[in-house]
Chains A and B, each alone.
Chain A
Amino acid sequence: MTTRLHIDWTRCDGHGSCVELLPDQLGVDDFGFPVPRSGQRDPVVPRRAEDAARHAVRNCPVMALRMYDAAS
């Protein structure tokens, strides 16, 4: 079981709080929107980053983030 982060791109306005909370998982593109550093559509959240990811989900001002458990 792995934990993944999903970005709802129809909501994301590029506020950037997730990028600050998850600097190892997310970078920022030319336009200010988050980019998963792994290149994965829904990037894997390593266990050590799970607290920060939960924080990012709660703090996104447009509620564009969610975490979910995936088989792989």
Chain B
Amino acid sequence: MTTAPSALARRLLDGAGADHEAHVARYGALPGLRLDDLLAAVADSGLTGRGGGGFPAATKVRAVAQGARRPVVVANGIEGEPLSSKDAVLLNRNPHLVLDGLEVLARALHAKRAILAVGPEIEPGPVTDAARRRPVHLVALAGGFVAGQETALVNGLNGRAPLPRDPFTRVTESGVDDRPTLVLNVETLAQIALVARYGATWFRSAGLPDDPGTSLFTISGSVSRPGVIEAERGARLSDALAPARPVRPAAVLVGGYHGAWVPAPDLGARLTRAELAPYSASVGTGILHVLDTETCPLDLSADVMDYLARQSARQCGPCLNGLPRMASDLHRLAVGVRDPDLPNELERMAALVTGRGACAHPDGSARFVASTLRVFRGHVAAHLEGRCPSARSTRARSVAS
């Protein structure tokens, strides 16, 4: 007899690996649910997407259920964010839970195909073993920062270059093989597998009423124990970070390179939409990157912006041109060019690229730049006066040498 994992236990991470018998012994058999029952359970659970957008999972499922043709269901295991490894850890430790979510949805929707798409970050062994003898196509695709964007993934699965496409036609209308396509992050699917088994009330026994359940977080940067943890939704940032043991934190980048900074004095904030809104941050994919007090935040941000500019798919003019411009201006600020127009110019460019691309890349990159200028305002002012308050900075090094 199996029992539901208790409310505060690790729901996702204590998996049984690729061994299906051990998996069933731990979680129980996967029930077959009719679409109405599955939809009701997912809607009542309040589950939101764990791949970045944070969109209610039930809304997406409903969108493909209304399609005229049998849909395709895709588990998105393209973890292109360099600071994220929660999907890789989940697929390594608990691949069957992800496959359960895919299978229970595919059956309820009478899907034409169920696909698990994985990027190069995912260790192939456990997913390959687990997907064998299950009604799922495992597809390995090339990676890259924007490759996991929904439309890029669909393009990749259709045999085209894995680049984002114009989102005018939603993939829920026409995606893989021109069929209505449901793309859900692998963690979202694992959560659906739990909701299908234990129900919405059980799911809601963790987290907050308006943001229930648990989430995986990848913690990196200035911490003594980096890695992936599972925490309740709505936990305080300081509590979520505690197991990783932050070292001299100055600020935490929440949500990754498309995310925003929360300064160290505010780490009592809860990881909810409402409490993160003042920082323009959101939980996103669950990345928490700790910046220490000795590293120059402008140095780091300029390097991140370089990376983001290089990761542009180079399809959309504002992104192709605007991101390198922001990277170059951030570098000028970081090395101490005393041009008082730089912050205004960066803010203008961030606003200019926002909303003017086929995917979320320009908007996310602009959010990161705007947050850097806002949270490190004092630091920016010091640079414009020709000094850097950080012990380790490009400027400090250049002065020292």
A residues neighboring B (CB under 8 Å): 6-14, 29-33, 35, 39-41, 66
Contact = CB atoms under 8 A, between A and B. Distances in A.
B318 A33 contact: yes
Centre residue among B168, B319, B356 by max chain A CB count within 10 A = B356
Given A10-B163, A30-B321, 16 more contacts: A7-B356, A8-B168, A9-B166, A9-B315, A9-B319, A10-B165, A10-B358, A12-B317, A29-B318, A31-B317, A31-B318, A33-B321, A33-B356, A35-B352, A35-B356, A40-B355
Given A8-B166, A9-B357, A10-B164, A30 B352 contact: yes
B322 interface: yes
A30 B356 CA distance: 13
B319 to A, nearest CB: 8
Interface residues of B, number: 19
Interface of B: 163-166, 168, 315-319, 321-322, 325, 349, 352, 355-358
A14 B316 CA distance: 10
Contacts of B357: 9
Question: What is the interface of chain A mostly: helix, strand, loop, or mixed?
Answer: loop
A11 B165 CA distance: 10
Contacts of A13: 317
Contacts of B164: 10
B334 to A, nearest CB: 22
A3 to B, nearest CB: 15
A10 to B, nearest CB: 4
Given A30-B352, A33-B356, A35-B352, A9 B318 contact: yes
The 7 A-B pairs of least Cβ separation, nearest first, read A9-B316, A31-B321, A8-B166, A33-B317, A10-B315, A41-B355, A10-B358
B81 to A, nearest CB: 22
B358 to A, nearest CB: 5
Nearest to A32: B317
Contacts of B315: 9-10
Nearest to A33: B317
Contacts of B358: 8-10
Contacts of A14: 317
10 contacts: A7-B356, A8-B166, A8-B168, A9-B315, A9-B319, A9-B356, A9-B358, A30-B352, A31-B318, A41-B356
A29 B320 CA distance: 13
B22 to A, nearest CB: 46
A29 B352 contact: yes
B60 to A, nearest CB: 20
A33 B315 CA distance: 13
Contacts of A39: 355
B382 to A, nearest CB: 28
B316 A10 contact: yes
Nearest to B165: A10
A64 to B, nearest CB: 9
Contacts of B349: 30
Given A29-B352, A31-B322, A35-B356, A11 B166 contact: yes
B168 A9 contact: no
B339 to A, nearest CB: 17
